[in-house]
Structure 1
Amino acid sequence: MNASLRALALAAALLGPAVVRAAEQPVQAPTPRPTAAALSPRLDAVEQALRGAEENLHSVETQYTQRAEPDDDEALARRYSDGEIHYQLGDWPAASVLFYDLVSDPRFRAHPRYPDALFYLADALLEQRNDIGARMYLRELLALPSSSGHYREALSRYLTVAGRLNYYDGIEEYVARARALSGGQLPPEIAYVHAKWLFRRTDLSPADRIAQARAAFTPLARSPQGPFRFQAAYHLGVLSVQEGDLPAAITRFQQLATPPSAQAAQVAPGKTGPRRSTPTPEEQALRVRELALMSLGRLLYETGRFDEALDHYGQVPRDSESFPDSLYESAWVHVRQGDYQQAKNALDILVLVAPDSQLASEGRILQGNLLQKLRRYDEATDTYTRVIDIFRPAREQVDALLGSHTDPVAYFDKLLVRTDGPLDMRSALTPLALKYATTQREVEDAVRMVEELDSSRRGREEAAAIARRILDALDTRGLESFPELQEANTRADAVDTALAQADAELVRVETLALEGVLTPAERARLAEARAAREALERRFSALPTTLKALEARRERMQRRVDEVDLETHRLDFEVQSLHAIAASVRKWVEDSRPHRRTPPDEEREFLLQLQAEVQTLKDLQAELTAVRARLADERNAVDTTLAGERELRAAYADALRREHALLAAAEPRADADAVATLRRSQAARGRLDGMRGRVTAARAVVRERLERQGRVIREKVVAEQQRLERYEAELAAVSGDARQLMGRVAYDSVRRVRQQFYDLVLKADVGLVDVAFNEKQDKTTAIQTLSMQKDEALRELDAEFQDVLSEVKE
């Protein structure tokens, strides 16, 4: 007992000061629990947020998930409307793609607008110079029982394409059908195109061709107010020339050469589609008159009626493309008349108005000859020298080009198929030689053919790459491939985020309402769950919850993509510049080989290093191309859910559910004031859960439509890939033959250019020799004349002074 008392006394002595200090501090009252009235504004805010989410969810449902998808007919009609808009705007590539998709769809073949789609597709291909594709679809259109009012236009275009391709099978059947549809007589626009087609045919004998073409043009020319009477009359005149009946041709051209005021030109061009530069009736009449004047001048020159020829040449307007020809030909008329000064005057004007034309070079040679005739030898020498200075360096360059390669045909073939430069001869020829080469018809046709084949190859590669990207997007990026479904899903995510934030606020309100009835253990578990939620809250609060926030995020992401795309564009330009430099270096090495003394081993090592650099550039180019393609995908997918966003939303919702479950266990112990708050919270939560169910249903609809539309697109893409594989095999076969042909045509063209330059330089050299010889002859003649005059004067002096001399002798 005493021991216990001593222990208590000792403890009191030790704890006394602390107990006293504790007793002296004021006692803090517990924080009062918020009342229902205090928490009511927060619940009002939650209900307001739920109303906003309800409006956004209703918008998602009405605009996307609950709206009936268009049926096949409506989808086809929409696609047709889009294609027609692009066609009317003159966007031929886009129009051809849309209409090709339509006409290749078996479901569209029974559609009433199928003939229209065929015509628009063929016309769009025709505008892109795809004659083969246009001919195929025009032929299919012409074979239909009904062409929906496009038969005339389709036949007109088909005849044009047939003339270009020299393809004549089956045309007479189409013409007979058009004649039957028009009551036995072809419409003027069809009749004119058909007559031109007959005029250009190469599969008939000359006599048959002339007879058939004359029979086709004659009715058009005799029509008093016919829209093509002038053009038809001109062709009849040309047929007379081809037949050798020059008087009839002169009579025909004289009728056409009347002044424009006397021609009631009413040329009505047919329908040619949108955005085309069709000549006006007055322009067509003027052009026919210019051609008639030129033809008259030539025929009158041939028949020796020189004054009349000059009169008609002089009527050609100065702004006409035939004006330089009229000057050159009138100069020859003056030469035939012996009026060399007038001939030179005409050539002076020619050199002024068309100094860079091939005609001007021939005119300078003739000009030098005329100056010789006029005995202006210094000017003639200057003229010939100018021609030599222009064409001799170009001829030597062409000679070096042809002589520096053992197989020039292979060289041109290799040059034209390079992938690191333009598909032409600009890198091989001087501008002057290139101008003379490309003005030849067969070279133009060959270059265009190879360019079209190369364009087809690039198009096939691009189409194959697009197909791979589409399939990859369907496999890995799902919603991004369907903007409408992506928009619906993005808006549903925004609603889900808004609901989660409302749920979080309800949890906070419930926590405050139940704070007083929670046990220490419940508080600890609740604090742990709250800490887990708050760790996610900062990231979660940045997610958009409204359409305005979604738009702001879209703009931010778009700006970032644009910045990166701008940088890739700059890098792409630099890589292309380096490609051009490498091509120039290689070209210099090849062309300068005959003039250098570089050891072969050293040159080979340099070319290998250059090839390695070119390969590096190609790798960089491919990488940049891939990056730009990825950026194009990202630009179209700026609304895509950010990486981890859906997982963040799910984790945040789980944390809220854990908190709510802990609070639900304490709800039975709540007092009356807390129960009022909890009832409002439960009512709001019921609305919230219902809206979550609708969000889930909306996402299910989006997924179902995504799978269905993705399956349809996948089937189309796979089918197109199979077509591309077949097309690639056909293109490879045709391209090989075409490139070999192109090398031969280019070689022959360069040889002809070289011969032209040689002839011009030779004529100028001969002209210089003639000048020197004529000048010598003139001086010799002058000396001889002076000598004769001297002798005559001496004889006269002798005779005059004969008497004087005789007297002197005596």
Structure 2
Amino acid sequence: MNASLRALALAAVLLGPAAVRSAEPAQAPAPPPPARDLSPRLDAVETGLLGVEENLHFVETQFTQRAEPSDDDALARRFSDGEIHYLLGDWPAASVLFYDLVSDPRFRPHPRYPDALFYLADSLLEQHNDIGARLYLRELLALPPTSGHYREALSRYLTVAGRLNYFEGVEAYVAQARTLSGGQLSPEIAYVHAKWLFRRTDLSPADRITQARAAFTPLAQAPNGAFRLQAAYHLGVLSVQEGDLPAAITRFQQLATPPSAQAAQAAPGRTGPRRSAPTPEEEARRVRELALMSLGRLLYETGRFDDALDRYGQVPRDSESFPDSLYESAWVHVRRGHYQQAKNAIDILLLVAPDSQLAAEGRILQGNLLQKLRRYDEATDTYTQVIDTFRPPREQVDALLSSHSDPVAYFDRLLVRADGPLDMRTVLPHLVLKYATTQREVADAVRTVEDIDSGRRGRSEAAAIAQRILHALDTRGLETFPELQEANTRADAVDTALTQAEAELVRVETLAMQAVLTPAELARLTEAQHAREALERRFSALPTSLKTLEDRRERMQRRVDELDREAYRLDFELQSLNAIAASIRKWVDDSRTHRQTPPDEEREFLLQLQAEVQTLKDLKAELTATRARLADERNAVDTTLAGERAIRVAYADSLRREHAILREAEPRADAEVLATLRRTHGVRGRLDGLRERVTTARNVVRERLERRGRVIREKVVAEQQLLERYEAEVAAVSGDARQLVGRIAYDSIRRVRQQFYDLVLKADVGVVDVAFNEKQDKTTAIQTLSSQKDEALRELDAEFQDVLSEVKE
């Protein structure tokens, strides 16, 4: 290859001066050079052809004559790509590749088809797409159990069934897995199956408890079992649900051991069905914390207050249950009459979790405790703080609900928009939205809307991608297939080099035939040369070697990269503006209690802010589309520039016209000139042979382009038809979900409003109680002082009775 490049470079050096000389003004006819002077130039052309032929041979062996991969090879390569993305944790890319595989009928008989189904389902699970994962897991479980991944698929299917409350056919799968395992389920499947039984809602409580206990007991009794601790905890919960508190206390006491001991009891080599599963040590700690909380509650219910406090005190400070342990331990102190210790627990709760919903109830309890401790001013301040926090948002919700004749439809309109949660913040107080979204029902409702909107956006994006692919196939052609594009680019470079060699042959023939041409023939030849010289500069810029191709690629990529850098800068500015908008939004929420802004004015400001945010979103979408176009252009830098082929064809036609004029005069040439011409004709024959090979290579590229384009077009059209069906399904589901989501949101906000009302009511009652208790204390003090005064007067009367008697006498 290096030798060929050097030969091409030598040919370019030799061709360059000739091109310059051809453009010089016409001088007096020079005597024709002898044949020996023309021979080195023909040698250079022949040497250059060796390099050109080598480049053409590379195109043929590496591209056009290389067999296309069969369907099986293409499917296997796609599976390998998907497996790599799966192992790297790139779930979206893996799910796309495996979806393409499992939807291809040609791949169904493939031995890796079960693996593809499992990888696809697992990738969807990682993206929290439980419905899609259940579909492909069920398809995998319908295959023969010997196909592989049956246990993992069943474990995941049971998990998804529990989440979706979908129980149809599960028992049959479990029975089949038990048969395959010789009558005994693996610990992993047995545990997931037991949890599924524990969560079933289609059984009576007694049947559910009985079946779940029978499933958990073997796991809890297995020494050093991977799921022994979790199963034992569930058995304790089942005892609570059954009302057998002593048995539950015994079970939880066994679990409330130090974390080191629990970790030693866990199986060291456990690997769960998910790569995100916690380690045995983390699982043991979590079970212990749950057991401590459950044990504290049961001991409290049975009147063992000291033991309950001891268990609550063992909950780690970094545990999620620590705020709950503080609140519940405060009530234990209240039951014992230790009000100061109860207040201390609430004080710590308000420090570690000031923004939790538990903190509001904690403040009410704190006010009650301050009353008990006769610290009335502090109690009043605590109640007032609760009132100031929850009364304004409650009144705003009251006004909102009363201002709309159909609140359900109103909240539905807010939630069904693509930016639903943000729209709700423009009308709902921050505290109300916070309490509403933390409730499971409305959180699920908002997530449902987000999923529907995500599906709608995904369908729109997929439709746009499909249109983009079809447009690329129609307008760009080779750019959509980099391999064919490279082959075509290299073939064009070879064709350009052959045309330059043809130009040098014509120049040699012109020099050899100068003395033979008639004036008329010279005039025609000069006219043809002028036409060729007009194309000379543009033609000489065309790439003829790998180096020139690389130079052009780098030059074009630099131009595209400059534009992409500017687009990136603009993208960063948009992100900054979005951050500023989010900061303004947060400032409005955080400063609401300190400002005196009228609600209507604030609402108008938030609506304007939302409009600005939407503008930023539109600009972001436009910039994203621009960067996508830049990426396309960067990938297309090897494409033949507009007009290149036309320049090459026009230049070759002008050379053929010059050669035709020279051929007419060949019969008049002498022997020496004829010898030179015979050699040029031989070289031209080689040129024609190489050009035929280039044409053949181009035809192969065009044929493969048409075949691949047809295959992709058929797939894209089929996907477009599926997208149309998906659009109808999403519209139907969206309509059903909107009615449901509106009702859920309305009910949730009503519950939040009632919760705020109860908190304010308790605080108002607390303020009244403080005033009443303070009055009672003062009344009692006055009565005590009055009694003491009367007693003192009586004592004085008794003491001075004798003196008074003497005075009377």
TM exceeding 0.5: yes
Matches of 2:728 and 2:257, distance apart in 1: 57
Query: How far did 1:689 drift?
Result: 1.7
Q: Which residue of 2 aligns with 1:734?
A: 733
Moved more, 525-534 or 561-570: 561-570
Letter in 1 for 2:222: S
CA contact (8 A) 2:187 2:219 kept: yes
Output the amino acid matched with 1:251. T
Q: Is the contact made by 1:116 and 1:147 (CA closer than 8 Å) also made in structure 2? A: no
How far the C-alpha of 1:405 sits from its partner, in A, is 2.5
Displacement after TM superposition at 1:45 (Å): 3.3
Q: CA shift at 1:565, angstroms?
A: 5.0
Equivalent position amino acid for 2:236 in 1: G
* Aligned equivalents of 1:767, 1:509: Cα separation in 2: 112
Is 1:484 equivalent to 2:483 in the alignment?
yes
Where does residue 331 of structure 1 map in the other structure?
330
The C-alpha deviation readout for 1:33-67, integer Å capped at 9, x for no partner, is: 33334334433432343233222212211111111
1:6 alignment partner in structure 2: none
Provide the C-alpha distance between the structure 1 equivalents of 2:756 and 2:41, rounded to a whole number of angstroms: 94
Matching of residues 96-245 of structure 1 within 5 Å: 96-146=95-145, 148-245=147-244
- Check whether the contact 1:380–1:771 (CA below 8 A) recurs between aligned residues: yes
Tell me whether 251-260 or 767-776 shows the greater mean CA deviation. Answer: 767-776
Aligned to 1:9: none
Aligned ranges 1:153-552 → 2 under 5 Å: 153-263=152-262, 264-267=264-267, 268-272=269-273, 276-419=275-418, 425-552=424-551
**Structure 1's 596 and 355: CA in aligned 2 closer, same or farther, altered over 3 A?**
closer
Report the residue type matching 1:296 in the other structure. Answer: L
String of CA shifts for 1:351-384, please: whole Å, max 9, x gaps. 1111111111211111111111111122222222
CA 522–375 in structure 1, closer or farther in 2 if over 3 Å, else same: same
Contact 1:115 1:147 in 2 (8 A): no
Q: Report the residue type matching 2:273 in the other structure.
A: T
Say whether the 8 Å CA contact 1:423–1:451 is kept in structure 2: no
Given residue 266 of structure 1, which amino acid in structure 2 is its aligned partner? A
Distance 1:428 1:768, change over 3 A: same
Matching residue's letter, 2:129: N
Deviation at 1:706, TM superposition (A): 1.3
The TM-score, its normalising length taken from structure 1, stands at 0.89
The answer to whether the 8 A contact 1:240-1:248 is kept is: yes
Distance in structure 2 (CA, Å) of the matches to 1:272 and 1:614:
41
2: distance between equivalents of 1:535 and 1:422? 66
The residue number in structure 1 matching 2:706 is 707
Counterpart residue identity of residue 513, structure 1: A
Per the alignment, residue 3 of structure 2 pairs with none
Tell whether the 8 Å contact from 2:350 to 2:359 is kept in structure 1 after alignment. yes
How far the C-alpha of 1:397 sits from its partner, in A, is 3.0
2:657 maps to 658
The Cα of 1:301 is off from its aligned counterpart by 0.2
Local SS of the residue matching 1:320 = coil
Distance 1:461 1:352 in 2: 47
C-alpha distance in 1 between matches for 2:613 and 2:266: 60
Aligned counterparts of 2:302 and 2:787: Cα–Cα separation in 1: 45
Q: 1:596 to 1:74 in 2, by over 3 A?
A: closer
Matched to 1:410, the amino acid is A
Residue 628 of structure 2 is aligned to residue 639 of structure 1: no
Alignment correspondent of 1:16: none
Unaligned runs of at least 5 residues, structure 2: 1-26, 589-595
Question: In the alignment, which residue of structure 2 is the partner of 1:23?
Answer: none
Q: In structure 1, give the amino acid aligned to 2:212.
A: A
Q: How many angstroms does 1:795 deviate by?
A: 1.2
Map 1:661-672 → 2, pairs under 5 A: 661-672=660-671
Shift, 1:537, TM fit? 1.6
> For the structure 1 residues 681 and 300, does the alpha-carbon distance in structure 2 shift closer, same or farther, using more than 3 Å as the test?
same
- Cα offset, 1:141, TM superposition: 0.4
Q: Write the distance in 1 (CA, Å) between the matches of 2:483 and 2:105.
A: 26
Q: Assess, with a 3 A threshold, how the Cα gap between structure 1 residues 618 and 773 changes in structure 2: closer, same or farther.
A: closer
Q: Which structure has the bigger radius of gyration?
A: 1
Counterpart CA distance in 2 for 1:220 and 1:615 is 54
1:660 and 1:249 map into 2 onto residues whose CA distance is 105
- State whether residues 317 and 323 of structure 1, in contact with CA within 8 Å, keep that contact through their aligned partners in structure 2: yes
Partner of 2:82: 83
Once the 2 structures are TM-superposed, how far is the Cα of residue 532 of structure 1 from its aligned partner?
0.8
Asked if the contact 2:159/2:196 (under 8 Å) is kept, the reply is yes
Structure 1 counterpart SS, 2:52:
helix
The answer to whether the 8 A contact 1:122-1:137 is kept is yes
Asked whether the 8 Å contact 1:125–1:131 carries over to 2, the reply is yes
Q: CA deviation at 1:296?
A: 0.2
Q: Could you tell me which residue of structure 1 aligns to residue 755 of structure 2?
A: 756
Distance 2:599 2:260 in 1: 64
Distance 1:315-1:593 versus aligned 2 partners, 3 A rule? closer
Per the alignment, do residues 418 and 474 of structure 1 end up closer, same or farther by CA in structure 2, a change over 3 Å counting? same
Q: Is the 8 A contact 2:442 2:744 kept in 1?
A: yes
Deviation at 1:654, TM superposition (A): 0.8
Aligned AA for 2:436?
A: A
Larger mean Cα displacement after TM superposition, 196-205 or 483-492: 483-492
The answer for the alignment partner of 1:74 in structure 2 is 73
1:93 lines up with 2:92 in the alignment: yes
Q: Report the CA distance shift for 1:625/1:236 in structure 2 as closer, same or farther (over 3 A).
A: same
Q: Secondary structure at the match of 1:415?
A: helix
Q: Structure 1 residues 618, 280: closer, same or farther in 2, change over 3 A?
A: closer
212 and 616 in structure 1: CA distance in 2 versus 1, 3 angstrom threshold: closer
1:161 deviates by: 0.8
Where in structure 2 are the equivalents of 1:591-630 lying within 5 Å? 630=629
Question: Cα RMSD over matched residues?
Answer: 3.1
Measured in 1, the distance between the counterparts of 2:671 and 2:392 equals: 109
The 3 A distance-change label for structure 1 pair 797 and 41 is farther
Question: In 2, are the aligned partners of 1:199 and 1:213 still within 8 Å (CA)?
Answer: yes
* Structure 1 residue 634, shift from structure 2 partner: 2.9
- Distance in 1, matches of 2:740 and 2:168, equals 25
Distance 1:403-1:50 versus aligned 2 partners, 3 A rule: farther
Instruction: For 2:385 and 2:285, locate their aligned partners in 1 and report how far apart those are by CA, in whole Å.
Output: 37
Could you tell me which amino acid in structure 2 is paired with residue 537 of structure 1?
E
How far the C-alpha of 1:434 sits from its partner, in A, is 2.0
Q: Against the structure 1 CA distance between its residues 593 and 764, is the aligned structure 2 distance closer, same or farther, given a 3 Å change threshold? A: closer
User: Residue 693 in 1 paired to residue 709 in 2?
Assistant: no
- CA 1:667–1:719 in 2, change beyond 3 Å: closer, same or farther? same
Which digits, 9 at most, give the CA deviation of each residue in 1:474-516, with x for residues without a partner? 2332222222111111111111112112222222222222223
The SS at the match of 2:67 is coil
> CA 1:717 to 1:244, structure 2 compared with 1: closer, same or farther past 3 Å?
same
1:116 counterpart letter in structure 2 = D
Give the deviation of 1:645 after TM superposition: 1.8
- Worse-matched range after superposition: 731-740 or 551-560: 551-560
Which deviates further from its counterpart, 254-263 or 634-643?
A: 634-643
**Rounded Cα–Cα distance in structure 1 between residues aligned with 2:697 and 2:667:** 36
Q: Structure 1 residues 754 and 646 mapped into 2: Cα distance closer, same or farther (>3 Å)? A: same
Task: Report if aligned partners of 1:300, 1:309 keep a CA contact under 8 Å in 2.
Answer: yes
What do residues 756-783 of structure 1 show as CA deviations (whole Å, max 9, x unaligned)? Answer: 2222222222222222222222122112
Structure 2 residue matching 1:517: 3-state secondary structure: coil
User: Equivalents in 1 of 2:547, 2:396: separation in Å?
Assistant: 67
Shift of 1:570: 7.0
SS of aligned partner of 1:209: helix
Q: Tell whether the 8 Å contact from 1:95 to 1:124 is kept in structure 2 after alignment.
A: yes
Residue by residue, what CA displacement relative to the aligned partner does 1:691-716 show, whole Å, maximum 9, x if unpaired? Answer: 11111000110111112112222222
Aligned residues with identical type, % of pairs: 83
How far is 1:423 from its partner? 6.5
Give the distance between the partners of 1:615 and 1:346, measured in 2 at CA.
46
Distance 1:377 1:547 in 2: 90
User: In structure 1, what is the Cα distance between the partners aligned to 2:757 and 2:573?
Assistant: 41
Deviations 1:771-810 (A, max 9, x none): 2222222122112211211111111111111112222222
Q: Tell me the distance in 2 between the aligned counterparts of 1:174 and 1:786.
A: 83
Specify whether residues 197 and 627 from structure 1 end up closer, same or farther in structure 2 by C-alpha distance, changes over 3 A only. same
Separation (CA, whole Å) in 1 of partners of 2:239 and 2:503: 96
The match for 1:7 is: none
Identify which range, 189-198 or 746-755, moves more after superposition. Answer: 746-755
